[in-house]
Structure 1
Amino acid sequence: MKTLKCLILLLFVAGNLLATEPPKNEKPALEQAVEKLRKAILDADKTALDALTTEQLTYGHSNGLIEDKAVFIKALVTGESDFTSIDLTEQTVTVVDNTAWVRHKLAGNTNNKGVAGTAKLAVLMVWVKQKGDWKLLARQAVKI
């Protein structure tokens, strides 16, 4: 009887292991989402920015300013915050279930409120998968 119970348990565990699909590599999808966000920021594309961010977005700037989704998008669309170029380097992507974080260095040129400037930042972004799409939940930058 003990052997039968062990055999049943072994078959149950083996069946579950075989039935479970290995997790899909999400790194390329996240890299694409980051690139879409980069382009949407450059283009001040309200529709794309809305689609790429969660309703709970918290967007932290290197000067300490924290924006929610509405303020983040409005600042870009109105030109209050205006990137004329963005280059991302040293990017790493880590995925845990439906959450991921992306770190990179950002070098860019700005034209905020018509005043030219430059940005050199280290950025941490937190992404979540919602309804099959990766969306930005949080972002924090620091000056480098």
Structure 2
Amino acid sequence: MNDERHDREVIRQLEDERYTAMLRKDIATLTRLLNERLIYMHSSGVTDTKESYVDGLRSGLWNYRRIERSDVRIEVQGDIALVFAKLAIELMSNDKLKSFEARVLAVWYRKRDGWQLTAVHSGALPPSP
């Protein structure tokens, strides 16, 4: 049980690091955290690879202004960690300001040299009335 608690804390720290890197466009950190075989499903349904996601950040396709997380739950099962959360995001994309909420599942995989993000699947939530 203690190892699982430790793993959850490691994943929590990696998630903090990832979201900070997204906001700062810290490509070096993202390159380290993202698995080469990453599949990133955006809430719009668009899917990216590691390369296309990093290129989108680098080119300015996504300029994250704010990312707030809530309802975070981390489940560790062996070498797999599942992170469930609700996000409130504000970003500039194609010169348009977009604000939305989404539910997200992030999947981390433990390799010999540490954890890497392997998959993200997010679904947009309807706007609040």
Alpha carbon RMSD of aligned pairs, Å? 1.2
What is the TM-score normalised by the length of structure 1?
0.81
Question: Does residue 27 in structure 1 map to residue 20 in structure 2?
Answer: no
Counterpart position of 2:105: 124
Secondary structure of 2:72's partner? strand
As a proportion of its length, which structure holds more helix? Answer: 1
What is the TM-score normalised by the length of structure 2?
0.90
Counterpart position of 1:40: 21
Larger radius of gyration: 1
Question: Does residue 57 in structure 1 map to residue 38 in structure 2?
Answer: yes
The ranges of structure 1 where at least 4 consecutive aligned residues each deviate by more than 3 angstroms after the TM superposition are: none
What whole-Å deviation, never above 9, does each CA across 1:73-126 have from its counterpart, x for those lacking one?
010111101210100000000001111100000001111122111020000011
Mapped partners of 1:132, 1:104: distance in 2: 26
Mapped partners of 1:81, 1:94: distance in 2: 29
Q: How many residues align?
A: 123
As a proportion of its length, which structure holds more strand? Answer: 2
Counterpart position of 1:16: none
Structure 1: gaps (5+ residues):
1-21
Secondary structure of 2:3's partner? coil
Structure 2: gaps (5+ residues):
none
How much identity, in percent, do the aligned residues show? Answer: 24
Instruction: Kindly provide the amino acid, as one letter, of the partner of residue 85 in structure 2.
Output: H
